A and B are shown apart, each in its own frame.
Chain A
Amino acid sequence: MSSLLSSLVAGLLLINLVALGTSRIGTVVRAVALQGVVLGILAVAAHGEVSNRVVALAVASILLKGWLIPVILFRALRQVAIKREVEPSLGLLPSLLLGALATVLAVAASSRLPLAETRLAPLLVPASFATVAAGFILITTRRKAISQVLGFLLLENGIFIFGLLLVEAMPFLVEVGVLLDLFVGIFVLSIIIHHINREFASQDTRRLSLLKE
């Protein structure tokens, strides 16, 4: 059981690195989608007794992150007609290394934090930290608006991982609300991306600096 968990977590971390390491935006979208699916599985696997609530949540998140959001993003991608992230402000390899470093630091940090129980937490806490870090790296190094959305998704996933630790703390309503907000957020963002593309004839966020002191 724990082997399954650990392999799933390892998968998550691997996906982070893939997302950081590739320049093809399509690949990143797929990676993030895959991560969503894995998260769903993890949600079920993490909990010994399988309640309908957990299942419902898992299914919801798999549907949302593994299917709906990728669909939206691919649509956006088609509209803006771009394939790859050219000239990120930080090169692919450096950002990859940075991601690896972040993972190491995450493990170190979580090892120093007092953990409630020893089954899940030692795995999930570093994983969530690492994913959040990856999300930040993606947002701050990629120039294309859509890549930044993807970074935000990674960030959300990281937080979701941590959320797995306290399913019983989170009322169902809130979980659903979180997912709903996430969905609407991505939806609105994709709309804005569309408008950006129309107004600025580009996806490059460097163009978006009319407003400054």
Chain B
Amino acid sequence: MTELLGASGQLAALYLLVGAASLLAASGVPGLLLDRRSLWGERLATLLTVIAGVAGLVGAFALLAATGSATLELPSPFPEQRTVLGGDALSGWFAVPVFLVGALGSIYSGAYWSARRHPRNGRRLRLCYGLLLASLIFILLARDGASFLMAWEVMALTNFFLVTIEENDLAVRRAGWVYLLYSHVTILGLFAFFVLQHRLSGELGFQRIPLQATSTAGAVLFLLALMAFGIKAGVMPLHSWLPSAHASAPSHVSAVMSGVVIKMGIYGLVRTTGLFGDLPLAWGVTVLALGAVGAFFGVVFALGQHDLKRLLAYHSIENIGIILLGLGLAMVGRSLGRPDWVLLGMAGCLLHVWNHALFKSLLFFGAGSVVHSTGSRDLEQLGGLARRMPATAMFFLIGAIAICGLPPFNGFVSELLVYLGLARAAVAPGAAWAALAAPVLAATGALAVACFVKVVGVVFLGTPRSAAATAAHESPLPMLVPMAVLATGCALLGVAPGLVAPALERAAAVWAGAPLAGQSLAELAPLGWVSAGALALVALAGVLLAVVLPVCRRGRVRQPALPTWDCGFAASSPRLQYTASSFAELITSRFAWALRPHERLPGIDRVFPASASFDSHVEDTVLDRILAPRVERARQVAARIRAYQQGDLQKYVLYIVGAIVALLLFNFRLGGLVTELYGR
């Protein structure tokens, strides 16, 4: 790998990132001093965020251009500890989407959550938004446990305030509460993780752990990290907080949450697995299995939804699964000493992190634009929006194709890398079982196609299913420009993935702990061919359209245009269209055992049944069918303990007597007294 940037340049980049992060943290502050309705507050916030975003992107790319890492030290609240900030290619890689999506989201919010329409909570939103982005950067730069945890918690709390910004809604409060509980489990897990890691390595932070990971302590460490970061990333089955939280937040916040915040969990997993000198095979297999399960069932649950944003949230779970497949493959490769798998897996994992950030934020922006103009997130209320908001439809379609991993967009590239790694495993002797993930991934892809055909079709195509959808209008420019940027990004990475190959290699090298000898992405993956294929596809389609479109223009179209052929079925109405649920039914019915849909079926009791209605909605099975009952039981146990605080003074005094007697008996049982007596 070529050294493009010296150590000094790296340090400068690090300072640049810190500065940008501080700017982000400050972005919401001026608004506090201004009137809650004044537009200047939000304009200023957006301006600061965009400046910080540009500066940060420069810094992040600078880090990506260098090997090795730069660090700087500050005093710490802990005795004999230092606060250490550091920057390397891995941090840089994860920092890029933070700045990009963050800045775009801030622009988007100017129209989506304007101070005019939301005077009450606009200032709080902008303040927390800036703090959230800043904390994300500090998470990426923190090298010691204490500051990592601090930044982590700031992220968790600001994120909580953003989720509960519309706290009047009970559902939002519940979503926020579940989120808060989960994130506290995370923080406690990390708490234990770092303390244990300090116990093992004598260093409270991201230092290589000397002891071999095969020991029990190592395994405990790994499991703690997997739990804590898994919750944040939304790894099945630790994902339950995610769908409702992402659905409740304002759309540009959902975009940031889904696009970059949950990636911090991935970042944590990558960092921690990178800490260990050696990786047991079992760990890689575990991650691989989690990835497969998450990807498949994530999309299955998504098919069951008819809330647009919940559906997208479940797709985040699916994509996290795909990312984990890459990570797991890399881990297996390291255990089995196969640098080519390591590079392919890690590259797939990291590239998909970027890709998901691009198309998932794009989709959430699109969803937000739909909500903005129709005021509804319910798929069954929408339809025919492509005619009313063509630009949004266009961008959403691009995002949909990209998230399905179809060429010529970016999703395909990262999935291809993972597939290549898996196929190499299939060819290799003795590790073919790893390749079993490939068919699962294929099924996932096909289901994703099904799901997004459903979304695009039901939301944007056909005819409107409600008055709100009929009255829909195109969103203002500040909401469209960010989508355009992201869509361009999807296309660019899809057509020219070669651009990021060197950066990918550096980041993967950081994880592997040493440059991967003799491995280069250019040799392992046909990135050039991918570009060629994508371009060929576009060209072919272009040529055909050049032939077809004139035909469809010039007089050959039957005038006047007539309604759709209804197969002789008179009185066809928009209500007759296939709904989202009915579209997915063929698939979801096969997974009723996992989805547990709540259904209300009308019974047909007489010859001419009256008009009846059928509805079904899918809750989060893990949360509602598994966790909720356990929590209820815990409550009952607690209630039993309460009964002892029954307000009777005499009983209280009896407790004291009991305590003395018990402790003295404990004293006797220890036998210390006896030995004292007879010892003398």
Contacts and interface: CB of A to CB of B under 8 A. Distances in A.
Q: Is any CB of A less than 8 Å from a CB of B in the complex? A: yes
Nearest to A206: B648
Contact of A140 (B642, B643, B645, B650): B650
Given A136-B653, A136-B657, A140-B654, A213 B680 contact: no
Interface in B639-680: 642-643, 645-650, 653-654, 657, 673, 676-677, 680
A208 B649 contact: yes
Given A114-B677, A114-B680, A136-B657, A213 B650 contact: no
Nearest to A89: B650
Interface in B603-661: 642-643, 645-650, 653-654, 657
B650 A212 contact: no
Interface string A187-209: 00000000000000000011011
B677 A212 contact: no
A139 interface: yes
B646 A209 contact: yes
A205 B653 CA distance: 13
A141 B657 CA distance: 13
A143 B650 CA distance: 8
A210 interface: yes
B426 to A, nearest CB: 62
A140 B680 contact: no
Contacts of B680: 114
Interface in A117-154: 136, 139-141, 143, 148
A140 B646 contact: no
Given A114-B676, A136-B657, A209 B648 contact: yes
B653 A213 contact: no
Given A114-B677, A114-B680, A139 B653 contact: yes
A143 B643 CA distance: 21
A123 to B, nearest CB: 20
Contacts of A205: 649-650
A211 interface: yes
A78 interface: no
A89 B649 CA distance: 12
Contacts, number: 35
A179 to B, nearest CB: 23
A206 B650 CA distance: 9
A141 B650 contact: yes
Interface string A5-49: 000000000000000000000000000000000000000000000
Contacts of A206: 648
A141 B653 CA distance: 10
Contact of B642 (A112, A139, A210, A213): A213
A143 B651 CA distance: 11
Chain B interface extent, by class: 10 to 19
A210 B647 CA distance: 7
A209 B673 CA distance: 41
Nearest to A151: B653
B373 to A, nearest CB: 51
Given A112-B677, A114-B676, A114-B680, A212 B647 contact: yes
A206 B673 CA distance: 40
B645 A213 contact: yes
Contacts of A208: 647, 649
Chain A interface extent, by class: 10 to 19
A140 B647 contact: no
A212 B645 contact: yes
Contacts of A112: 673, 677
B467 to A, nearest CB: 52
Contacts of A141: 650
A209 B647 CA distance: 5
Nearest to B652: A140
A112 B650 CA distance: 30
B676 A140 contact: no
A139 B650 contact: yes
A143 to B, nearest CB: 8
Contact of B646 (A139, A143, A213): A213
Contacts of A210: 647
A140 B653 contact: yes
A143 B649 CA distance: 10
Interface in A67-112: 89, 112
A96 B650 CA distance: 18
Contact of B657 (A89, A114, A140, A211): A140
A212 B646 contact: yes
B263 to A, nearest CB: 44
A211 B650 contact: no
Contacts of B673: 112
A158 B657 CA distance: 15
A198 to B, nearest CB: 19
A139 B656 CA distance: 12
Contacts of A212: 645-647
Contacts of A209: 646-648
A136 B650 CA distance: 10
Interface string B446-487: 000000000000000000000000000000000000000000
B581 to A, nearest CB: 46
A112 B667 CA distance: 14
A211 B652 CA distance: 13
A139 B651 CA distance: 10
Contacts of B677: 112, 114
B457 to A, nearest CB: 55
Find the residue from B642, B650, B654 having the highest chain A CB count within 10 A. B650
Contacts of B645: 212-213
**Ranked 10 nearest A-B pairs via Cβ:** A212-B647, A209-B647, A213-B642, A213-B645, A140-B650, A212-B646, A139-B653, A140-B654, A140-B653, A211-B647
26 contacts: A112-B673, A112-B677, A114-B680, A136-B653, A136-B657, A139-B650, A139-B653, A140-B653, A140-B654, A140-B657, A141-B650, A143-B650, A205-B649, A205-B650, A206-B648, A208-B647, A208-B649, A209-B646, A209-B647, A209-B648, A210-B647, A212-B645, A212-B647, A213-B642, A213-B645, A213-B646
Interface of B: 642-643, 645-650, 653-654, 657, 673, 676-677, 680
Given A89-B650, A139-B653, 17 more contacts: A112-B673, A114-B676, A136-B653, A140-B650, A140-B654, A141-B650, A148-B650, A206-B648, A209-B646, A210-B647, A211-B647, A212-B645, A212-B646, A212-B647, A213-B643, A213-B645, A213-B646
